[in-house]
């Protein structure tokens, strides 16, 4: 079975991605055989949040937001009949910035067909670190939290908070790459599978009626080598009948379809529309 929908695609509006044009992504997607795709650019981060990465380029600039939304909506009609395109965003859940995020969603939500809620930033003490930025950033978290295991625990804990967070009626209903803490696992090995943490997380995803981003990007990261999440978690999600939506997380046109050889394609669903919960 091949992949028919990609629910996690970036764009030239991503400040840490490539300049590949929207049309190049879509053409690649058509070649790949997709029936549909959602562009999920990193939403602008809250204004009073200080992006901890050196170039402060984790999210799209606020001044480009309208142009992005307009361009993606435009594509829908350009490609009508060839491929279904949905306009979305990847929204960061940042512990302590729930109100700002809720207000952002209240403003932009009506223009979205779909969205993902992801955790990239980990709060420790009164500072934040971008967990997946680099092995050095991950090491910073290990030093601050005390062990590799505690970084994973903190990650699952933050993802669980994102599931519970009150972000209003436009809160995304798909949770991004829930095992992103595994990105540098070959350099920062750990014994535990975090079965208890992952099980309670999946239970809550199910209780809220959310779906999961079944993300291929980890397979091409040399220190990861598996999808987010890996097979055993997918099986647990299937047991709970949680819908799974493939996401290439492509930051370039050639990234479309990445990781599909390691994705259990028979498990996939199409994304749920953003709906009032
Ligand atoms: Zn990105
Ligand atoms: Zn992400």
Residue 234 has pLDDT above 90, yes or no: yes
pLDDT digits (tens, 9 = 90+) for 196-224: 999 999 999 999 999 999 999 999 999 99
- Per-residue pLDDT, averaged over 22-28, amounts to 98
pLDDT tens profile 106-136:
999 999 999 999 999 999 999 999 999 999 9
Q: How remote is the CA of residue 238 from the centroid of ligand 2, in Å?
A: 22
When pLDDT is cut at 50, 70 and 90, the band that residue 267 belongs to is: confident
- pLDDT of 272 over the 80 cut: no
Could you tell me the distance, in angstroms and rounded to a whole number, from the CA of residue 191 to the centre of ligand 2? Answer: 25
What does the pLDDT average to over 226-236? 97
Residue 151 sits at the vertex; the CA angle it makes with 146 and 155, to the nearest 5 degrees, is 150
Compute the average pLDDT of residues 160-181: 98
Domains annotated for the chain, with CATH where assigned, are 5-267 (3.20.20.140)
- Ligand closest to 8 (CA) is 2
pLDDT of residue 265: 86
In this model, does residue 9 exceed pLDDT 90? Answer: yes
Q: What's the CA dihedral at 102, 106, 110, 116 to 10 degrees?
A: -10
Q: What pLDDT does 275 receive?
A: 40
Q: What is the structure's pLDDT at 1?
A: 60
- Mention every residue, 6+ apart, whose C-beta is less than 8 A from residue 181: 131, 151, 152, 155, 156
Tell me what pLDDT residue 73 has: 98
Residues with CB under 5 A from ligand 2 (ion): 118
Nearest bound ligand to the CA of residue 59: 1
């Amino acid at each position: 079975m091949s992949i028919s929908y990609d629910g996690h695609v970036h764009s030239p509006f991503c400040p840490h991605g490539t300049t590949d044009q929207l049309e190049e992504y879509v053409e690649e997607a058509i070649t790949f055989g997709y029936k549909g795709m959602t562009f999920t650019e990193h939403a602008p981060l809250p204004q009073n949040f200080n992006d901890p990465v050196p170039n402060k380029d984790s999210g799209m600039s606020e001044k480009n937001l309208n142009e992005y939304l307009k361009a993606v909506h435009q594509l829908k009609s350009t490609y009508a009949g060839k491929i279904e395109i949905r306009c979305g965003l990847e929204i960061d859940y940042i512990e302590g910035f729930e109100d700002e995020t809720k207000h952002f969603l209240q403003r932009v939500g009506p223009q979205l067909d779909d969205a993902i809620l992801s955790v990239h930033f980990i709060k420790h003490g009164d500072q934040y670190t971008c967990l997946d930025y680099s092995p050095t950033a991950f090491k910073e978290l290990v030093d601050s939290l005390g062990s590799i295991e505690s970084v994973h625990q903190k990650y699952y804990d933050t993802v669980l908070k994102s599931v519970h967070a009150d972000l209003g009626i436009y809160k995304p209903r798909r949770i991004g790459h829930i095992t992103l803490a595994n990105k540098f696992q070959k350099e920062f090995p750990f014994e535990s599978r975090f079965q208890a943490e992952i099980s309670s997380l999946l239970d809550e995803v199910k209780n809220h009626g959310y779906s999961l981003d079944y993300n291929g990007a980890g397979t091409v990261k040399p220190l990861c080598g598996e999808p987010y999440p890996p097979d055993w978690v997918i099986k647990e999600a299937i047991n709970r009948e949680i819908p799974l939506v493939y996401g290439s997380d492509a930051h370039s046109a050639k990234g479309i379809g990445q990781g599909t050889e390691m994705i259990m394609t028979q498990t996939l669903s199409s994304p749920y529309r953003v709906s009032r919960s």
